[in-house]
Amino acid sequence: MSSSWEDRVSLFGESHGAGIGIVLNGLPPGFTPDWAEVRREMRRRAPGRSALTTERREADEVEILSGVFQERTTGAPLCALIRNTDIRSADYEEIRFKPRPGHSDYPAFVRYGGFNDYRGGGHFSGRLTAPLVFAGALVKQILRQSGVSVGAHILRVHDAVDDSFTAVAPSAELLAALAASPLPVLNPEVRPRMEKAIAAARDAGDSVGGIVECAVLGLPPGLGEPFFDSAESALARLLFAVPAVKGVSFGLGFALAERRGSESNDAYFYDAEGRVRTRTNNCGGVLGGLTTGMPLVCQAAIKPTASVALRQETVDLRQKSAASLSLRGRHDPCVVLRAVPVIESVTALAIWDLMEKGGTTDE
């Protein structure tokens, strides 16, 4: 089993094990992290902080085991540990041989011969996104030193839809304001509708999905490569690494299929500072695999939480027979709320890697 991204990131741990963590390579030596900001980012993803999320409560305090000395990064691999404290593993005993529909239980059982940790999804759990948020909290600080900001909002929950970054001119101030909100949206009028949809699913023992939209500001034009190492490819690889993400798009995404070229093309102009910009941002700031200098806008579609209380059909892998399953335990009726900082973090990691690899900054 490998949970590593190139030579940058390696994740370890299980949802109901002693702890979870990350090894992060390539941080610049001498960087002084803002640990208060890191803690704020961790709280954004942490469970048990809203009636609309799981009742599991984890402080998600991060222990730095290596890579930081006298408050500065050393350049060595940074290893961080987050201990699990609020564990109720008995809730998952029934799924040991009865895989949850919509979850990784069955393919993981087959792939690892039944030796996988099934408690809370084990290593396949969304709990493993907590270390990713930690890494993203550091990398976002590093990116800001180059004038790059990363932020996200909830574009959709079930049938409640927010405005899109493609229709507004996002600013660093707007992204910061969104990060401070427990349910970040561009149009405040849609917030009650989203809350109602989540509460209704929770009360019915069910779940709902949605879409998180992310924007990256301050990127120079020319980052990325054509074809296989495109900016979209780099981002999609990490976005699809987030559990529950089932779709990724850029700009208007699949809606471009409904338009003519004259409607979807982004017309160029010179702004007051002599920089090339586009009148619209339908293509999300990426063309030919390269950034255009406009805000990079991408979306991640997140499926409904697989663990629901409603009775569902499954199989008994031990008896090799039909079975049914009604789950107990503590589960998010909608993981989209806590996925926002996760999507920001993996986006930041991909952008950091792109910028490290370089590209032209001439306009």
pLDDT tens-digit profile of 304-353? 998 888 999 999 999 999 999 888 767 789 999 999 999 999 999 999 99
pLDDT of residue 52: 84
pLDDT of residue 317: 94
pLDDT at 359 over 60: no
Confidence band for 361, pLDDT divided at 50, 70 and 90: very low
How many angstroms separate the CA atoms of 237 and 232, rounded?
8
How many angstroms separate the CA atoms of 287 and 294, rounded?
11
Confidence band for 362, pLDDT divided at 50, 70 and 90: very low
Q: Which has the higher per-residue pLDDT, 186 or 118?
A: 186
Contacts of 263 (CB under 8 A, 6+ apart): none
How many angstroms separate the CA atoms of 255 and 252, rounded?
5
pLDDT of residue 360: 44
pLDDT of residue 48: 67
Distance of CA 217 to the CA centre of its chain: 18
Q: Which residue type sits at 264?
A: S
Q: What is the pLDDT of residues 7-22, one digit of tens each?
A: 999 999 998 889 999 9
Q: What is the pLDDT of residues 268-302, one digit of tens each?
A: 999 999 999 999 999 999 999 999 999 999 999 99
Q: What is the pLDDT of residues 73-115, one digit of tens each?
A: 999 999 999 999 876 766 677 888 999 999 999 999 999 999 9
Q: What is the pLDDT of residues 45-83, one digit of tens each?
A: 987 667 788 767 778 899 999 999 999 999 999 999 999
E strands, 158-221, are 160-161, 210-217
Cβ–Cβ under 8 Å, residues 205 and 317: no
Q: What is the pLDDT of residues 195-208, one digit of tens each?
A: 999 999 999 999 99
Task: Look at the block and give the residue holding tokens 């798009």.
Answer: 249
pLDDT at 255 over 50: yes
Ordered by where they begin, the domains of the chain are: 4-357 (3.60.150.10)
pLDDT of residue 329: 66
Q: Chain-wide mean pLDDT for the chain? A: 93
Q: Which residues are registered as beta bridge partners of 250? A: 298
